[in-house]
Amino acid sequence: GQSPADAENNYLRVASSLDMYGVELHKASVKVSNTNDKLHNSKVELYIGVCASGISVFQNSTKANTFLWDQITKISFKRRTFYVQLIKNPDSSDDNSIVFTLRNYRCCKYLWKSCVDHHTFFRLTSVPSSSKKFFPFTNKLRHRLNTDIVPNTLLMETNERREKKFQRISSRRSSRSGNNSSTLPITSMTNNFSIIKNSNLSLSSSNLSIPKFDKPLSPPPKPPRQSYKSSLTNSALIEANEYKPKNATLPRENFQNLLSNSSSMSCVNTNSILIKLTPDVDGRYGFNIKGGEDEQTPTVVSKVAYNTPASRASIHEGDIILAINNIDIRNHTHEEIINMIRYSRERPFGELELVIKSKDENNSLENSLQILRNDLTTNRLTEQYETLERRKNGFTFEISSNQTNYYYNRYKDVLPYDQTRVILKNNIENDYINANYINMPIISTDIVNRYIATQGPLPTTCEAFWQMIWEQECTLIIMLTTLFESGRIKCHQYWPNVSETNDYGLFTIRCTRERKENELMYREFIFLNKEINEERIIYQIQNEIWPDHGVPNDYVSFVDFVLEIRELRKANKHLPILVHCSAGIGRTGVLILMETALCLMENNQSVFPLNIVRQMREQRLGMIQTASQYQFACEAVLYAYDHGLIEINGN
């Protein structure tokens, strides 16, 4: 016979070698293109399994493949869509993303949270030390590890060295649904998690038959025990318009090469330098960073404090950080990079190793545009755009959605944030208008392009509209919509016809001039405040042919239009330009993105359109409504650069 400890260890060794050991299943299906009939897609049902070693795909009760945590660079979800992004082979132009769609948001979030929990536990690099040692025996299990996975052999060796007396009790079991899929509780509210290692992928186009990877040298560790919670029924159908297995094939490497490459720093080149820092007496290294994979920008040094380890090591603002402590950080989020720097204080002598590329050796503008060009050719732009959050977490709409102001909104799902809304100053009855301040600072300059993004006025909001223009001292109105489109009212005419005068409360507007040129309508208004008898001149430029949810006809006229706005801005740089379409988010967002990108190019700064959209959405929700609008803006940026329409400072 065997001792209880030996029997348990032997049982675990056998059980952990089974395909379904420690695997949490989530039912899904995917539509794939038929090789014989490309007009019709077939639906393949499968299960997504989350386990200690990574994410597995099961089809017909058979494991089709396992994507190790080493292979996965990013796991994210949006609504019902679950994204798995793998390391891309630089020698291949194939896509490196797999897209699944679950039944609903809760199922998708549950799958993502399970991946986060498993990765956090099984990829733990060190066990946090306890500051208070109430129980000395627990310190025997605290190890500072150099490997990437916490080995369960440490516990087994402890059991073999000494016989332990214990009582057997019933373990809590995970709830299982009718299809034998077990589930774990949901505990997090975030929906984005990034990791980095080397990997490759192989998928077939018809039946999702994926070759297996070599079996790991040792069985995976046992999953962490978690509290019971009712499982969700994950019955799902996949909308696979973005999932194209025939474009998702990458050559495989064997398992040993995968392990050997996982710790290498392919980012290091002849232009990079290695810098080692130790913290000062206050535990500081003396520099700040910005950027990261989640911000779609390189990680750069944003500030270096005087007389600190960083300044003495000749680290400069603008230097690009390629690696930290021998780890390539190009696919890490900003928060992960910050934590890597903080945890360096726990290393011997608190040493921090940085691989840095000097800003003087890097043409950031050309590099950023080359990245944009590559994303266009590989059709990654749409995928990147779809992963963006439509609104800023934590911002509220209490003022815009209350009973008094609700009917002042043209569209009930396009509301201004309370935190950035324009507040009318001299209106005792109501200070509300559907408008937001949008400020776009230009990196490495003191330039801030200021805008007010607003909806097309309603008949009941024209007076508030002109009051806002007076109080904010706007002199230029950019109108990107017609009054009617497809039989629907898109904007009320808030100005008088030429040579006529209209009153709007305390204000009188007279249209003195109007002309049409190059599909644009130019108007000049005399703006009179009757209360103080003061006049101002207001200019309006209207684009009448840009359709709602659509894009302009061509790049040439659109770039010329934006360049004309840039010239008009120079007269009053500190004043905001008022921009509106119908909802004040789609076409308005495209224009703001384009002018911001042109201004960045003028100052020889990197252009990352996705980051610009994120900045805008942090100030007004939903800026740029469609992926086609985003793609058009990106193509227009490249057009302006390639045709020399921008005068770049320093060139």
**Catalytic residue positions?**
581
Query: What tokens appear for 401 in the block?
Result: 């959605």
Query: What tokens appear for 442 in the block?
Result: 């230009």
Name the H helices within 516-626: 555-569, 586-602, 609-617
DSSP-derived 3-state class of residue 199:
coil
Say how far apart CA 296 and CA 614 lie, in whole Å.
Answer: 10
Say how far apart CA 35 and CA 603 lie, in whole Å.
Answer: 50
430 closest CA partner among 405, 450, 449? 405
Say how far apart CA 121 and CA 53 lie, in whole Å.
Answer: 11
Q: How far apart are the first and last CA of the chain?
A: 83
519 closest CA partner among 486, 493, 556, 491? 556
DSSP-derived 3-state class of residue 437:
strand
Q: How far is CA 188 from CA 54, 110, 219, 463, in A?
A: 19, 9, 29, 46
Say how far apart CA 86 and CA 98 lie, in whole Å.
Answer: 8
Nearest-10 crossing angle of helices 609-617, 627-642 = 130
DSSP string, 364-388: HHHHHHHHHHHHHHTTHHHHHHHTS
Query: What tokens appear for 323 in the block?
Result: 């690696």
Which residue bears the tokens 């120079």? 570
25 closest CA partner among 245, 231, 238, 227? 231
Sign of CA dihedral 359, 363, 364, 367: negative
Strands of 455-506, DSSP E: 476-479, 484-485, 488-489, 501-504
Instruction: Tell me the backbone φ, ψ of residue 496, rounded to 5 degrees.
Output: -80, 160
Q: How far is CA 329 from CA 71, 337, 610, in A?
A: 15, 7, 19
- For 599, left (φ over 0), alpha (ψ -120 to 50), or beta? alpha
Say how far apart CA 326 and CA 323 lie, in whole Å.
Answer: 6
Provide the 10 A C-beta neighbour count for residue 67.
20
Task: Burial-class residue 453 by CB neighbours within 10 Å (0-12, 13-18, 19+).
Answer: buried
